[in-house]
């Protein structure tokens, strides 16, 4: 039987009285959540219009997005095959992924002065001569003719070959693409991984396999008689002119220094000032109030403002970064510290006072032991979050890895370097998170602040 | 009697007490050594860091310090009233056609006569970026956090994946996300929104699942006893307990996000951050001070409002993590 159970009227009244909080809830309690959600949805919809999200997304260059994301994990060789005096000559970009005169297995000269470009296998290739380019896709050949004033693809071309007004664009998917023009062919060949990550082409160690390198490092003949192979390797690695490892590490160190010194100075300044701001320690309303407003001021002036301000006066580098983190954090830490001091157990202070200790001693033994773990763990939290902040304010002008990232992104061609620096930053953040978690755990046990 | 007292000036301790005392002394000494050692290590690191910072900086600290005050001296508006003229886009009597005193050209007109001052309009953009990212980010964090907590999800693999995802979202540099989106969509607030949202999901998700893990499981047990499924248990046993804390954290996050959106604004996200960077870079003192005052007032107002809301919401359960965790 499925029916609503009938409750006698007397019971009903009794239940209603007994559970008034459950049954007789106010309007706001019943519909507050629904109203809040509806308001949030309406607000998001309005913001969608206000920020012009729809049209912006429609006008976005999504084809670029694919290329940029592929750049994170792969590299492109971009030779230009120029047509000069009836011959084809490859010209390389500044990134110089191959040394001069290197034998490249995907770019091979033909006997008639042309070049063959392989895109993965023999069925996908370009046969480049000065008068015609044979585009071979999956074994089928599509001849593109080049005359003095026009480049023409055949009429039966597949969608991978696109005819533009002055050029023909061939796409081989991930393997790369080619732009056939009247005077040259722009070849773009993409490979998984990061090119020349360890050694650039100037290094004697370029192009060697890991086993060869390990052999050289341990027992091999000295390639450079002046220094051991290992130190030569380290130097060549740090001086890699494409990846600039040495410079990147230096910038990363600057970012860490900004976070470390800024937080440390902030802690050192906030510590005594918090005692002045705490109502239970300093019995002076004016001093409490003034100190707390000073903290509010330091905290509320944005880190961006401090950063730009100090960059203007000290010039770009870690000093403005340190100064801006120091100013913001002494305010934020001061506030947190003062709250912690105001919440201490008064019994310990009373005990010290009853022994006739001076006020310095009362604070040293009555307050500090209670608040120190909270202080340290708070400062560690701030340090972690400041590593991230230092990256961002670096980009504003304070220097460090943030600026390096911004430079790499501004060219739109160095996304592999961006990926490398992101990996470094993630590694450093995780490392310091774990260090500070361990420290916190040792200091105050698992729970607590 | 007096002589016996004088003969034993030291209180006699039992053998056990002497051992305890010696043990205490030993521990005290060891602790002192550790303290001195850690302070020494700290000092060495600090001095090395300072030296490194000073040598890496383009201007040396002591050499540049006098210029700080010079900069402060030169960076003053010609008349204090100009600050407020710049704030409300009123024409300046000093106007000479240069950008420095041109306060009126960037008014945002709604009708023919009513306009929103440029800086206030940019501030509205910045605050809206923060609010939208907080709303969207907290929604995602809300949905994710239940899958990361030990007491609700048995599968270790799920927890592992969700937690690591949150960690990466938290630590991923915001400027890279903003830069990538700027490259695709051109400069604008969407880049800032996405960048801040991603960080918010990671940061709030962690705090949320810690709250969920500390929830009282009796309500869950009750629902389990009447055969409720997972979704129902989460909805009626966990969510009512954790919601006040979630809202508190979200409000705190909103405060942090307003600051973040000004900074991201300065590196390509638009809004007041960009305007401020230009103003201070071009030595437009009146404009820069106007923006500083506007930002200060806004941030204090938002902090106070959110503190008031949090006090009203505050239940018997205090926040688990302290502000620094955000």
- Cβ separation of B46 and A385 shorter than 8 Å? no
Work out the pLDDT band at B109, boundaries 50, 70, 90.
confident
pLDDT recorded at residue B105: 79
Over residues B196-220, the mean pLDDT reads: 91
Is residue B100 one of the residues assigned to a domain?
no
Q: Between A88 and A39, where is the model more confident? A: A39
pLDDT tens-digit map of A279-294: 988 888 999 999 999 9
| Pair B53, B175 in one domain | no
pLDDT tens-digit map of A239-277: 888 888 899 999 999 999 999 999 999 999 999 999 999
- Mark B192-227 as b/e (b = at least 16 C-beta within 10 Å): bbbbbbbbbbbbbbbbbbbbbbebeeeebeebeeee
Residues linked to residue A137 through DSSP beta bridges, in sequence order: A140
| Pair B295, B166 in one domain | yes
Are the C-beta atoms of A403 and A316 separated by less than 8 Å?
A: yes
Q: Between B10 and B56, where is the model more confident? A: B56
- Cβ separation of B267 and A318 shorter than 8 Å? no
pLDDT recorded at residue B125: 93
pLDDT recorded at residue A96: 67
pLDDT recorded at residue B3: 45
Three-state DSSP class for residue A205: coil
- Cβ separation of B259 and A303 shorter than 8 Å? yes
Q: Which residues of B touch A447 (CB under 8 A)?
A: 320
Q: What is the 3-state secondary structure (H, E, C) of chain B?
A: CHHHHHHCCCCCCCHHHHHHHHHHHHHHHHHHHHHHHHHHHHHHHHHHHHHHHHHHCCCCHHHHHHHHHHHHHHCCCCCHHHHHHHHCCCCCCCCCCCHHHCCCCCCEECCCCCEECHHHHHHHHHHHHHHHHHHHHHHHHHHHHHHHCCCCCCCHHHHHHHHHHHHHHHHCCHHHHHHHHHHHHCCCHHHHHHHHHHHHHHHHHHHHHHHHHCCCCHHHHHHHHCCCCHHHHHHHHHHHHHHHHHHHHHHHHHHHHHHHHHHHHHHHHCCHHHHHHHHHHCCCHHHHHHHHHHHHHHHHHHHHHHHHHHHHHCCCCCCCCCHHHC
- Mark A242-255 as b/e (b = at least 16 C-beta within 10 Å): bbbbeebebbbbbb
pLDDT tens-digit map of B153-164: 878 899 999 999
pLDDT tens-digit map of A128-154: 888 888 888 888 888 888 887 788 888
**Helix (H) or strand (E) run with residue A185 in it:** strand A184-192
pLDDT tens-digit map of B33-91: 999 998 999 899 999 999 888 888 877 787 777 777 777 787 888 788 888 888 888 88
Is residue B91 one of the residues assigned to a domain?
no
What angle separates helix B174-185 from helix A368-393, to the nearest 10 degrees? 30
The alpha carbon of residue B18 is apart from the nearest alpha carbon of chain A, in Å, by 25
pLDDT recorded at residue B315: 55
B3, two tokens: 């002589």
Domain extent for B212? 115-325
| Pair B315, B258 in one domain | yes
CA distance B321 to A373: 14
Are the C-beta atoms of A239 and A300 separated by less than 8 Å?
A: no
CA distance A346 to A368: 12
Q: Which residues of A touch B273 (CB under 8 A)?
A: 304
CA distance B128 to B130: 5
CA distance A202 to A236: 9
pLDDT, averaged across chain B: 85
Q: Which residues of A touch B172 (CB under 8 A)?
A: 422, 426
Three-state DSSP class for residue A168: strand
> What's the distance, Cα to Cα, between the start and end of chain B in Å?
69
Is residue B103 one of the residues assigned to a domain?
no
CA distance B226 to B237: 13
| Pair B65, B131 in one domain | no
Work out the pLDDT band at A103, boundaries 50, 70, 90.
confident
Is residue B99 one of the residues assigned to a domain?
no
Residue B141 has pLDDT above 90, yes or no: yes
Nearest CA in chain A to B261: A304
Nearest CA in chain B to A310: B68
Backbone angles phi, psi at B298, to 5 degrees: -60, -50
Residue A40 has pLDDT above 50, yes or no: yes
CA-based nearest residue to A248, from A64, A13, A21, A421: A421
- Mean pLDDT is highest, among A9-13, A167-171, A333-337, for A333-337
| Pair B33, B144 in one domain | no
Q: How many domains does chain B have?
A: 2
Task: Report residue A112 CA to chain centroid gap.
Answer: 49
| Pair B124, B253 in one domain | yes
pLDDT recorded at residue A278: 92
CA distance B109 to B115: 4
| Pair B129, B237 in one domain | yes
pLDDT recorded at residue A449: 42
CA distance A429 to A390: 12
pLDDT recorded at residue B9: 54
Is residue B65 one of the residues assigned to a domain?
yes
Chain A residues 114-143 with a CB less than 8 Å from chain B: none
- Which spans in A219-317 are helix H? 229-238, 245-277, 285-300, 303-314
| Pair B59, B133 in one domain | no
pLDDT recorded at residue B321: 53
| Pair B314, B263 in one domain | yes
Three-state DSSP class for residue A215: helix
Tokens 């983190």 belong to A325
- Cβ separation of B190 and A53 shorter than 8 Å? yes
Q: Which residues of B touch A40 (CB under 8 A)?
A: 135
Q: Between A4 and B147, where is the model more confident? A: B147
Q: What is the CATH number of the domain that holds B209?
A: 1.10.3720.10
Q: Between B194 and B92, where is the model more confident? A: B194
The alpha carbon of residue A362 is apart from the nearest alpha carbon of chain B, in Å, by 20
Q: Choosing among A54, A313, A439, which should be mutated to test the B contact, i.e. which has the most B CBs within 10 A?
A: A313
| Pair B133, B273 in one domain | yes
Residue B1 has pLDDT above 50, yes or no: no
Residues linked to residue A87 through DSSP beta bridges, in sequence order: A84
Are the C-beta atoms of A173 and A158 separated by less than 8 Å?
A: no
- Cβ separation of A319 and B132 shorter than 8 Å? no
Residue A41 has pLDDT above 80, yes or no: yes
Over residues A51-72, the mean pLDDT reads: 85
CA distance B269 to B257: 13
Task: Report residue B300 CA to chain centroid gap.
Answer: 14
Q: Which residues of B touch A308 (CB under 8 A)?
A: 266, 276-277, 280-281
pLDDT, averaged across chain A: 85
Q: Between A266 and A117, where is the model more confident? A: A266
Work out the pLDDT band at B5, boundaries 50, 70, 90.
very low
Over residues A316-331, the mean pLDDT reads: 91
Is residue B245 one of the residues assigned to a domain?
yes
| Pair B157, B207 in one domain | yes
| Pair B250, B154 in one domain | yes
CA distance B234 to B146: 8
pLDDT recorded at residue B169: 93
What residues contact residue A256 under an 8 Å CB cut-off, 6+ apart?
A: A387, A390, A428
pLDDT recorded at residue B2: 44
Tell me the count of A-B CB pairs closer than 8 A.
Answer: 200
Is residue B164 one of the residues assigned to a domain?
yes
The alpha carbon of residue B253 is apart from the nearest alpha carbon of chain A, in Å, by 13
Is residue B171 one of the residues assigned to a domain?
yes
Over residues A2-30, the mean pLDDT reads: 78
Nearest CA in chain B to A247: B56
Residue A86 has pLDDT above 80, yes or no: no
Tokens 């026009």 belong to A150
Alpha-carbon torsion angle A79, A83, A87, A92, nearest 10: -20
């Amino acid at each position: 039987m499925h029916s609503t159970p009938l409750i006698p009227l007397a019971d009903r009244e009794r239940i209603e009285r007994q559970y008034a909080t459950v049954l007789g809830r106010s309007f706001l309690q019943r519909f507050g959540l629904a109203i809040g959600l509806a308001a949030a949805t309406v607000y998001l919809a309005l913001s969608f219009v206000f920020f012009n999200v729809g049209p912006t997304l429609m006008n976005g260059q999504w084809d670029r997005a694919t290329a940029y994301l592929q750049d994170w994990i792969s590299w492109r060789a971009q030779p230009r095959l120029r047509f000069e005096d009836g011959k084809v000559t490859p010209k390389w970009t500044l990134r110089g992924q191959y040394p001069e005169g290197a034998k490249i297995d995907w770019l091979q000269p033909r006997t008639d002065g042309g070049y063959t470009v392989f895109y993965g296998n023999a069925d996908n290739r370009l046969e480049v001569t000065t008068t015609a380019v044979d585009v071979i896709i999956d074994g089928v050949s599509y001849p593109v003719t080049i005359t003095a004033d026009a480049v023409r693809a055949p009429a039966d071309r597949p969608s991978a070959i696109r005819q533009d007004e002055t050029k023909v664009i061939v796409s081989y998917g991930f393997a790369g693409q080619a732009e056939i023009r009247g005077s040259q062919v722009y070849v773009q060949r993409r490979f998984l991984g990061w090119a020349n990550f360890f050694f650039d082409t100037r290094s004697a160690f370029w192009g060697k396999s890991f086993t060869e390198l390990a052999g050289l490092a341990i027992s091999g003949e000295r390639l450079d008689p002046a220094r051991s192979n290992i130190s030569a390797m380290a130097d060549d690695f740090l001086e890699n002119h494409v990846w600039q490892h040495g410079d990147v590490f230096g910038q990363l160190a600057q970012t860490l220094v900004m976070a470390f010194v800024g937080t440390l100075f902030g802690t050192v300044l906030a510590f005594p000032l918090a005692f002045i701001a705490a109502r239970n320690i300093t019995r002076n309303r004016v001093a409490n109030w003034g100190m707390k407003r000073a903290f509010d001021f330091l905290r509320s002036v944005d880190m961006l403002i401090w950063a730009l301000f100090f960059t203007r006066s000290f010039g770009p580098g870690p000093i403005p970064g340190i100064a801006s983190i120091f100013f913001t954090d002494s305010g934020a830490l001061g506030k947190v510290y003062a709250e912690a001091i105001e919440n201490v157990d008064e019994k310990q202070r009373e005990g010290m006072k009853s022994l006739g200790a001076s006020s310095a001693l009362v604070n040293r033994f009555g307050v500090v032991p209670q608040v120190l773990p909270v202080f340290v763990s708070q400062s560690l939290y701030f340090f972690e979050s400041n590593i991230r902040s230092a990256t961002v304010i670096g980009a504003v002008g304070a220097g460090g890895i943030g600026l390096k990232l911004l430079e790499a992104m501004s060219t739109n061609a160095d996304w592999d370097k961006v990926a490398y620096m992101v990996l470094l930053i993630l590694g450093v953040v995780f490392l310091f998170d774990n260090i500070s978690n361990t420290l916190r755990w040792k200091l105050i046990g698992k729970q607590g602040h | 009697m007096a002589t016996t007292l004088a003969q034993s000036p030291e209180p006699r301790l039992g053998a056990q007490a002497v051992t305890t005392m010696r043990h205490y002394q030993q521990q005290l000494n060891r602790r002192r050594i550790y303290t001195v050692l850690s302070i020494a290590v700290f000092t060495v690191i600090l001095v090395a860091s300072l030296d490194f910072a000073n040598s890496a900086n383009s201007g040396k600290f002591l050499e540049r310090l006098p210029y700080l005050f010079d900069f402060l001296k030169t960076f003053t508006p010609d008349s204090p009233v100009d600050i407020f003229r710049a704030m409300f886009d009123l024409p300046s009597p000093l106007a000479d056609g240069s950008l420095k005193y041109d306060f009126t050209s960037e008014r945002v007109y709604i009708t023919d006569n009513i306009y929103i001052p440029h800086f206030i309009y940019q501030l509205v953009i910045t605050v809206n970026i923060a609010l939208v990212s907080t709303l969207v980010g907290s929604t995602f964090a809300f949905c994710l956090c239940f899958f990361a907590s030990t007491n609700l999800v048995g599968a270790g693999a799920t927890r592992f994946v969700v937690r690591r995802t949150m960690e990466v979202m938290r630590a991923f540099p915001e400027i890279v996300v903003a830069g990538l989106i700027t490259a695709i969509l051109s400069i604008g607030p969407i880049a800032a929104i996405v960048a801040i949202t991603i960080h918010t999901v990671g940061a709030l998700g962690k705090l949320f699942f810690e709250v969920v893990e500390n929830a009282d499981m009796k309500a869950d047990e009750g629902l389990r006893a009447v055969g409720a499924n997972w979704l129902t248990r989460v909805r009626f046993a966990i969510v009512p307990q954790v919601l006040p804390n979630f809202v508190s954290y979200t409000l705190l996050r909103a405060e942090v996000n307003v600051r973040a959106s000004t900074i991201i604004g300065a590196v390509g996200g638009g809004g007041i951050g960009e305007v401020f960077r230009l103003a201070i870079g071009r030595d437009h003192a009146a404009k820069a001070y106007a923006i500083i005052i506007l930002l200060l007032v806004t941030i204090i107002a938002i902090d106070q409002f959110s503190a008031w809301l949090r006090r009203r919401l505050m239940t018997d359960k205090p926040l688990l993590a302290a502000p620094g965790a955000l």
